[in-house]
Chain A
Amino acid sequence: MSPPAVTEPSHVVLNEVVRRYEGPPAIHALGSIDLVLRRGEFFSVVGPSGCGKSTLLDVLCGLVRPTSGSVQFEGRELRGEVPDGIGVVFQEDSSMPWLSVRQNVAFGLRTSELSQKEITERVDHAVSFMGLAQFSGHYPAQLSGGMRQRVCIARTLVLRPRLILLDEPFGALDQQTRLLMGDELLRLWRETGATVMLITHALDEAAMLSDRVGVMSARPGRFIDMVETGWPRDRDSRIVSDATFGTVTARLWSSLRAESLKTMGRAA
């Protein structure tokens, strides 16, 4: 993985992206979306359930083609394939039940040309980074849902992706663990310098972790608000006691309230 020659600051560019699912019933799931992810930024997406967040992730990493519009990653247009340099952690548990924790994490590097020593180092690091060192010989069936999700994160980390996409990775965790994992995620983001897009349903999590939060409307998902948090790069979960934190969360909620009511089938 050589560092990209591109120096322009926009890492990912989405241009009038629309995604429809052919029915029946045909569903207009997403867009139109115009979005620029800046290189190295921590971007979060919040939005009501079913608004198209996971669909956005699929399109953004090249897993599915947009129905119309274009996606560029590092200056190159995606054509229905996931390019090198993108790591994805899906909303669903994607650990492999027939592999141990360690083997799961190493799975990401099976095709890599790195030396065995380098592979071992990366796997060891990712396993302990995600707090799984004591479980490296366990199988997914022996882990909790949150631990399995961490296995999937570790499997992505060993690849050292330049863009990391996470779809509600902490959905199965309690609030305390969530805050701590948030800190880990920030540490990771700072250490690797990667661009991160985090999908979450927790407004406080988005407010605490991100440089910028995109608020999506009810389906078909469009961005109805962009909130810059203005946090310093060197931050952790303690900023929840910062006065601005309340302001950011309140703004997110006021943008989302009406949309969430819509998805519940009620008037605002």
Chain B
Amino acid sequence: MSDISLENALSTPTSRRRIRAFDAVVMTLLMLALWQAIGSWTKGVAVSPPLQTFVYLFGLLRTGMFWDHAAATLAAFLLAFGLSALIGLALGLIFGIRRFAGEVAEPMLAGFYTIPKVTLYPVVLLVFGLGMSAKVAFGVMHGLVPMTLFTLGAVRNLPPVLIRTAKVLRLSPGRTMLWILVPACLPDIVNGLRISFSLSLLGVLIGEMFSSQRGLGFLLVNGMAQHNVPLSTAVVTVIVVVAIAANTLMLRVGGRTARRPNP
């Protein structure tokens, strides 16, 4: 974070922490107020208001049914995210190091990234059938490309002078990779992980909505189908809270790894 920001110019270091906390509280209150407004406006047909939702949610959290669905989503998500991260990292490194392969692959990946992947869902179902593997495949379809592109970009933007330094210090290829390539690319890799996290979760949930009898995505659609508005709202709330928490955590980690002169 730069020191020459408008925010810093208009505040003192001691007040800044308080301002941040204040901002967070205000934002949360605003969201809740908006939520309440939509809830009352639609008379609870689309969204149930916050208080009612939380009451419902606490009841829900005490049922085994909810945790079964949550566990199903978690398992599919972890698999999808893990596969996206590992394969994306490997592909990104290969495409980044092999310039030519990267030049061929990048536009294709970027093109795929922009396709609304729901349109490919029937194909996925045909290939993987209903159930776990289709959900995971759909999660990977969403999460893999950003991870690959971020890693590829990081490797490609590695300052050549660092590689020259490695050669002058007579580092082996393995050590060059471990001591220079990986730490230099780490901030971008963490960003890739962050995006990949969100998108593979999204992919898994969409998968569950369309073709599964298990998982939070299914629970959400089911709640809607049965006009159980508090149920669907509660599920969305859980997903949003978990996603925000994970994202914040990764932003923190990412900020810590980034110590570059000019971001």
Q: Which residues of A contact B (CB under 8 A)?
A: 61, 63, 81-82, 84, 86-88, 90, 92-94, 96-99, 107-108, 110-111, 139-141, 159
Whether A90 pairs with B261 at a CB distance below 8 angstroms is: no
Whether B170 pairs with A84 at a CB distance below 8 angstroms is: yes
CB distance from A55 to the nearest CB of B (A): 13
In the complex, which of the residues B159, B164, B170, B184 contacts A98, with contact meaning CB atoms closer than 8 Å? Answer: B184
Residues from chain A with Cβ under 8 Å of B170 in the complex: 81-82, 84, 111
> Given A93-B161, A96-B184, A111-B175, A63–B167 Cβ distance below 8 Å?
yes
Residues from chain B with Cβ under 8 Å of A141 in the complex: 259-261
> Given A97-B259, A98-B259, A82–B167 Cβ distance below 8 Å?
yes
Distance between Cα atoms of A111 and B179 in the complex (Å): 11
**With A96-B183, A111-B175, A140-B259 already in contact, 8 other A-B pairs whose C-beta atoms are closer than 8 Å:** A63-B168, A82-B168, A94-B161, A97-B260, A97-B261, A98-B183, A98-B257, A111-B170
Q: Which residues of B contact A (CB under 8 A)?
A: 159, 161-162, 164-165, 167-171, 175, 179-180, 183-184, 186, 257, 259-261
> Given A90-B161, A92-B161, A98-B186, A108–B259 Cβ distance below 8 Å?
no
Closest to A88 in B: B168
Residues from chain A with Cβ under 8 Å of B161 in the complex: 90, 92-94
23 pairs, CB–CB < 8 Å, chain A vs chain B? A81-B170, A82-B168, A82-B170, A84-B170, A87-B168, A88-B164, A88-B168, A92-B159, A93-B161, A93-B261, A94-B159, A94-B161, A94-B164, A96-B162, A96-B180, A107-B179, A110-B175, A111-B169, A111-B171, A111-B175, A140-B261, A141-B259, A141-B260
Specify which of A86, A93, A96, A111 lies most central, judged by the most chain B CB atoms within 10 Å of its CB.
Answer: A96
Residues from chain A with Cβ under 8 Å of B184 in the complex: 96-98
Residues from chain A with Cβ under 8 Å of B167 in the complex: 63, 81-82
Closest to A108 in B: B169
CB distance from B20 to the nearest CB of A (A): 22
CB distance from B84 to the nearest CB of A (A): 25
Distance between Cα atoms of A94 and B184 in the complex (Å): 12
CB distance from B107 to the nearest CB of A (A): 23
Distance between Cα atoms of A93 and B261 in the complex (Å): 11
